Each structure stands twice: as C-alpha cells, then as structure tokens.
Amino acid sequence: MTTKTALKFQRELRSLNALAIVNIAFGGIAIAFAISIGVQNILTLVKAQSLLLPQLIIGILGFLAFGISLRWLLSSTEILDGATDIKDDYEKKKANLTDEDLTGLIVQMTAYYRENKQTIKKMMVVSKIAGVCFLISGAINLTTILVSMISGAPQWDMLLQAMATAVSFGIAVASIYITHFFGKYSSTWDYRLEETSKAEKEFEKQLEG
C-alpha cells in the first residue's frame, strides 16, 4: 500500500515540477518577445525623430508585457523551488520510506499547495494558453513549409522550418498534456484540503465544547 501511494505521490511531484517548468519556459519566451517588440518600436521612434503614436503605444505595451512576464517567470521559479525541496526530501527518505514519512510528505505537499493554490491554478491556465500559442505557431510554420515547397525554396530553409514546426508542436502537446493530468492531481489536493478543513472545524467544535 505504501509503495502504491509513494508512486502516486512521486507522480504528483513530477507533474507539479513539469507544470512549473512549462511556465518558466513560456515566461522566458514571453520576455524575449516583449523586449523585441519594445526595442524595435522605440528604435523606430528614435530613427524617425518624431512622435509616432502607434509605435509609442506598442513600445510601451511591449515593456509592460516584459514586466508582467518577468514577474510570472519569478513566481513560477519560486513554485519550482518549493516543489524541488519537497522532492529532495522525498528522495532522501525514499530508500527507507515508512508510513509516517509518507504521511508527513503528503501533509507537506498539501500545505504547500494550499499556500500557493492561486498561483498554481493560474499556472494551469497559462500552460493551456502556452499550448494553444505553440499549436498556432506550429500551424503557421507548417503553412510556411508548404508555401516554400511550392515556391521552390532552398531545402536548408525548409529543414529549419520543419525543425521549428516539430519543436512548436512538441511543446504544445507537452503543455496541454501536462495541464490535463495535473488537473487530476489538483483535484486530489483540493479534496485533501476540503477534508483537512472539515477536520479542523470539527476539532475546533470539540475544543469549544
């Protein structure tokens, strides 16, 4: 029984780690994209030496997106650090894992989830968005490959486009897959929190009595 529960707990940890990594990767890409947009439009304003309202607005939005993406990247990194600490604790006890050790780890994980529940829920949404974005990117790259084949573009260019397409579709599938299965573990943690809350209320009633 302990072995089965331990394996399930291990899968829960891996799922949380994977979710955090997907969000970190997406946050990094969003930062690079935001910087690119912001810098390009600001440089356009500098070269034009006049106030171009569309470029100014887009440039400002780019730098705002940079700030939001950086903040999200840091939040995701903090979640990963916390999950890694629990994982390290599990690895230390794994060789001689007792029921008490496993119960303590589950309680530790539940407490960590309760403390960071809102951020983790947002990470699930962001992971889905990332999956859709990479899916669209893959579809665009695939369309570009087809157009290149028709126009007789160099094979080297098409090879690079094919690699980019494979990466985009791979990340898209991973993001959606991880979010789907993490949702099951999230439901389990929500149930644990609900039961813990009931137990705490019952204990308070007994103390009052």
pLDDT recorded at residue 81:
93
Nearest to 169 by CA among 147, 143, 137, 129: 137
Contacts (Cβ under 8 Å, ≥6 apart) of 2 = 97, 98, 99, 102
pLDDT recorded at residue 153:
64
Q: Is the dihedral of CA 146, 152, 158, 161 positive or negative?
A: negative
pLDDT recorded at residue 78:
92
Prediction pTM value? 0.79
Alpha carbon distances (Å) from 103 to 2, 55, 98, 100, 136: 10, 57, 9, 5, 43
pLDDT recorded at residue 57:
83
pLDDT recorded at residue 203:
60
Nearest to 106 by CA among 3, 1, 6: 6
Q: Give kind and range of the element (H or E) at residue 52.
A: none
Contacts (Cβ under 8 Å, ≥6 apart) of 134 = 168, 169, 171, 172, 175
- Block means of pLDDT (10 residues each) for the chain, 209 residues, are 77 87 87 84 78 77 85 90 90 84 85 87 87 84 79 72 81 83 78 72 65
**What's at 206, amino acid-wise?**
Q
